[in-house]
Structure 1
Amino acid sequence: MNAPEYFFLPDIQASADQRQLAIHKVGVRGLRYPLALLDAAGRVQNTVARLSMSVGLPPEVKGTHMSRFVELLEEKRAPLNVNRLLRMLDEMLLRLDAQSGEIELAFPYFISKAAPVSAAKSLLDYDVRMIAEKRAGQRSELTLAIVAPVTSLCPCSREISAYGAHNQRSHITISARLRSGMSPEELVRLAEEEASCEVFGLLKRADEKWVTERAYDNPKFVEDLVRDIALRLMKEPRIAQWTVKSENFESIHNHSAYAEICGENPQHA
């Protein structure tokens, strides 16, 4: 019985604190960890996520148990989707005896795309964030956010030029607080469909002709991008609250054009 694991070790973190100040968030951040996800088709995609995990700490407790956050990740579990992430949040709160908490995952997400003419397939990467959060006395909430690269072509440039028009690569960011499950693919497609043209990882010459002409026939200002996407988000009953941003990396300036809209969708009976 002299093995180290049987020695009595005081738990300083669980001792009382006399300052009587609650902490809104305490935990770990910047933790990189392998992650298995379910995509929209039910297939497993493996990636590496950067995680932040935190709980609220009552005023009378000195500290939280940091090791339990990592222990939670080490548990064997099925590949994550939005609903399973909410269950993971509940498990974290139970382990840490907390009434509020948050798990945030940020990771690259790959979608297979077929070129518009040649049908050549390639992977394109998207930045995705998933945030599961619970405040004391309230229901758990989940936010899904994506960054989709697209092409935008300037309507003014096309109108005033004898030939051609300047275009740029744009980053569209959609953040949606969900009422029910959605996949990253669905938000990505919504952004791409409202752009002058989507982008691809692999294009042949016939595909380049198609995307160039597609953008020319579908010019959009940065204001058009966020307004058109906002109209789509407003019609989505699975979304409670949303923000859409577009940053256009201008090809004729050394600065970006930027626009942002946010809104809430009423709950329908």
Structure 2
Amino acid sequence: MSTTRHGAVEDLQEARPSAAIGLTRAGVTHSAKAIRIRHDGDERLFHAEIACFSDLRPEQKGVHMSRFEETVNEAIDEVVLGEALRIEVLAEHIAQRVVERQRARRSEITIRASYPVEKLTPVTGIATQEMYGLIGVAAAGPSWSRRLVGVTAQGMNACPCAQGLLRGQAADDLRADGFSDEEIDRIVRLVPIATHNQRARGTLYLGTPSGEGIDADALLEIVLDGMSSEIYELMKRPDEQFVVDRAHRRPRFVEDSVREMIAGTLERLPSLPDDAFVLAHQANFETIHTHDVEAERHGLVGEIRAELSGTAGRARHLSMTEWLDGAA
């Protein structure tokens, strides 16, 4: 005898919760998808992970999780069948749909894709495939939306602190061996001084209120230049020599990399409006400590321009969430 029962199924998500408290956000993460987006003038297929969130009313028990997946799939199908979009535009497209399907006041979408770039090593010119991250973030409400684009890349930093200690030690040893101060200055200027290295990851986000397209490859160059040196998956010994030498001639703290990324953004993109938003984050993975180190700066481009000109900045920097929501 069949035990299947037919009848109306209660929509538990629409039921009242035991505690009528609204939630800032609820949703799904690590939803793996294949998406086609436009990058570097071409339309490419990318593997991506998508995170979808919306707020939740106090009287509603839960969000409709299946609707997130349905919304993402519908948006991706439209893109695959139609015109490919930039990653941040696709994120905004999904965010707008989530607000409608979840009857939410706010949604936030993050798409993270990995994409390969073929590069040539700096000395031998060997072709090597490097993987970089492309990020689209968007927030939306019933009558508004904002988006930004981000990139992330690995590199290396050489520690200035340890290098300073070893430079001092080298100078003392050379002086004790009879070298003059002039000779010592010349030697330490010409010979790379040892220090410990840190593999590092830099991340840079940029958004404009108008939603004007940002060249992700330009952001990637800024990120890589903010570190002591680029790194490569495949290198011959002359390439290794070049990378290590370059890194030790450009020692940088984690804080230096963040400042270099921010300053590089303003220098290379001088037409950015003052109300554009920028976020730079750097993580260095230590080799002589058991901890890692991170630094970050976020805020309006106008605020940073004022700081660079010597004007005191805001006591609190505008966050990404605040900018996405249109806060001044």
* TM tier relative to shorter chain: 0.7 to 0.9
Distance of 1:15 and 1:224 partners within structure 2? 50
Instruction: Summarize the alignment of residues 114-193 of structure 1 with structure 2, pairs less than 5 Å apart.
Output: 114-135=120-141, 139-156=144-161, 157=163, 159-160=167-168, 162=170, 164-166=193-195, 167-179=197-209, 180-193=212-225
User: Larger Cα Rg: Structure 1 or Structure 2?
Assistant: 2
1:192 deviation in Å? 0.8
Which range moves more in the overlay, 230-239 or 28-37? 230-239
Distance change (3 Å), C-alpha of 1:249 and 1:12: closer
Find the counterpart in structure 1 of residue 278 from structure 2. Answer: 242
Does the CA-based 8 Å contact 2:52-2:68 persist in structure 1? yes
Structure 2 match to 1:208: 240
* Stretches of 4+ aligned residues off by more than 6 angstroms: none
- How many angstroms apart in 1 are the aligned matches of 2:296 and 2:239? 31
Match of 1:113 among 119, 122, 137: 119
SS at match of 1:43: strand
Equivalent position amino acid for 1:119 in 2: G
CA distance in 2 between counterparts of 1:61 and 1:253 reads 48
Q: Secondary structure at the match of 1:92?
A: helix
8 Å Cα contact 2:46-2:113 kept in structure 1? no
Asked if the contact 1:13–1:65 (Cα under 8 Å) also holds between the matched residues in 2, the reply is no
Kindly indicate whether residue 44 of structure 2 is the aligned counterpart of residue 44 of structure 1. yes
SS of 1:188's equivalent in the other structure is helix
CA contact (8 A) 1:52 1:103 kept: yes
SS of equivalent to 2:125: coil
Cα deviation for residue 198 of structure 1 reads 0.8
Aligned mates of 1:52, 1:247 — CA distance in 2: 22
Report the 3-state secondary structure (helix = DSSP H, G, I; strand = E; otherwise coil) of the residue aligned with 2:96: helix
Instruction: Judge conservation of contact 1:154–1:221 (CA < 8 Å) in 2.
Output: yes
Distance 1:11 1:104, change over 3 A: farther
Aligned pairs, how many? 261
Quote the residue 1:230 is aligned against: 262
* One-letter identity of the residue aligned with 2:198: Q
Distance in 2 (alpha carbons) for counterparts of 1:261 and 1:111: 27
Distance 1:223 1:15 in 2: 47
CA distance in 2, matches of 1:118, 1:184: 27
Cα distance change of structure 1 residues 222 and 17 upon mapping to structure 2, 3 Å threshold: closer
Give the distance between the partners of 1:191 and 1:15, measured in 2 at CA.
Answer: 45
Does the C-alpha gap of structure 1 residues 64 and 11 become closer, same or farther in structure 2, counting only changes over 3 Å?
Answer: farther
* Structure 1: runs of 5 or more not aligned: none
Normalised TM-score (structure 1): 0.80
SS in 1 for 2:194: coil
Aligned residue for 1:26? 26
**Residues 194 and 30 of structure 1: is their aligned pair in 2 closer, same or farther, counting only changes over 3 Å?**
closer
Closer, same or farther in 2 for the Cα pair 1:60/1:114, shift >3 Å? Answer: same
Q: Secondary structure at the match of 2:238?
A: helix
Unaligned 5+ residue runs, structure 2?
171-190, 306-328
Matches within 5 A, 1:16-95: 17=16, 21-49=21-49, 51-75=50-74, 76-78=77-79, 79-81=84-86, 82-95=88-101
The whole-number CA distance in structure 1 between the counterparts of 2:91 and 2:294 is: 32
TM-score in terms of structure 2 length = 0.67
Q: Secondary structure at the match of 2:276?
A: strand
Percent identity between matched residues is: 25
Matches of 2:102 and 2:108, distance apart in 1: 12
8 Å CA contact retained: 2:100, 2:142: no
Work out whether residues 158 and 250 of structure 2, in 8 Å CA contact, stay in contact via their aligned partners in 1.
yes
